[in-house]
Amino acid sequence: MKNLKGKLVLITGGASGIGKIMARLMLERNAKVVIWDIDQASIDATKSEFSNQGEVFGFPVDVSNVEQVQETSARVKQEVGVVDVVINSAGVVVGKLFHEHTAAEIAHTLNINVAGSMYVTKAFLDGMLAQNSGHICNIASSGGLISNPKMSVYAASKWAVIGWSDSLRLEMKQMKKDVHVTTIMPYYIHTGMFEGVRSRIPILEPEAAALTIVKAIERNKTMVTIPGYIYRVTRLAQALLPIAVFDWFAGSVLGIYKTMEHFVGRKK
């Protein structure tokens, strides 16, 4: 989506974190923005903050609720217009050892991170196909590239997003449709979602991460890791090293396997 001017951009989780920053960046590019978020108060505050920067709309939606997604997408189409860009940014994480998870936590994580992204994309993809133009951007995680203790369910959800997202890209390519799909795999971002994480690899700043994502959409990138070397390093090491050696490299050299030891998450 090389020119975002006048395009209608829908961002889930758009009232906080990098979703909110991306909303502002899209308005700066003269796009119209639709914010979906589960928190009505945050939607109202964000709309008020951005009211003088362009056209911004907001709808409360639980993306894990397929009926809400379908009903609200119909409202968006009727009240605002055809969505040109969807950014699936809504996500949750529970930082626990797997045996400590409740069944409800497992279901909630998968429903928000995986099914939610699919529901939202499905709701707007037909419109993109009909106009033969559009862009889907799915925010996965570098956690979808490498296993990590106390992140098993979150990692599983992001592995699923990566597989689905890139399969969707290939489907659009085989169908010869001008609908682009970008899969984003960022490292930890300093938004509060991963509060308490300690990392030898620098934790990402939200502004820079959001700008990288928006530029990836503008340049029709397919798969993007932030920082860029994460994909190359992990994939090359996984391909060349025996599992025991890779575990030593990821755990002792990069320190990844201990990053979640002091995790507390976002305060409610």
In tens, the pLDDT along 186-240 reads: 999 999 889 999 999 999 999 999 999 999 999 999 999 999 999 999 999 999 9
pLDDT band at residue 2 under the 50/70/90 scheme:
confident
The phi-psi region of residue 36 (left if phi > 0; otherwise alpha if psi is between -120 and 50; otherwise beta) is beta
Q: Where are the chain's structural domains?
A: 8-258
Answer whether 75's CB lies under 8 Å from 59's CB.
Answer: yes
DSSP-derived secondary structure for 4-28: -TT-EEEEETTTSHHHHHHHHHHHH
Q: Which of 119, 154, 187, 257 is catalytic?
A: 154
pLDDT tens readout for residues 4-21: 999 999 999 999 999 999
pLDDT exceeds cutoff 70 at 268: no
Cβ atoms of 198 and 212 within 8 Å: the answer is no
Q: Which residues of 209-245 are buried (b: 16+ CB within 10 A; e: fewer)?
A: bbebbbebbeeebebbbbbeebbebbeebeeeeeeee
CB 136 within 8 A of CB 181: yes
pLDDT on residue 211: 98
Q: What is the pLDDT averaged over residues 68-78?
A: 98
In tens, the pLDDT along 109-164 reads 999 999 999 999 999 999 999 999 999 999 999 999 999 999 999 999 999 999 99
Active site residue 119: no
pLDDT tens-place string over residues 24-51: 999 999 999 999 999 999 999 999 999 8
pTM: 0.95
Q: What letter does residue 259 receive in the DSSP assignment?
A: T
Q: Which of 91, 124, 87 is nearest to 110 (CA)?
A: 91
Class of domain 8-258: alpha beta
* Token representation of residue 212: 């990288």
Q: How far apart are CA 264 and CA 102, in angstroms?
A: 17
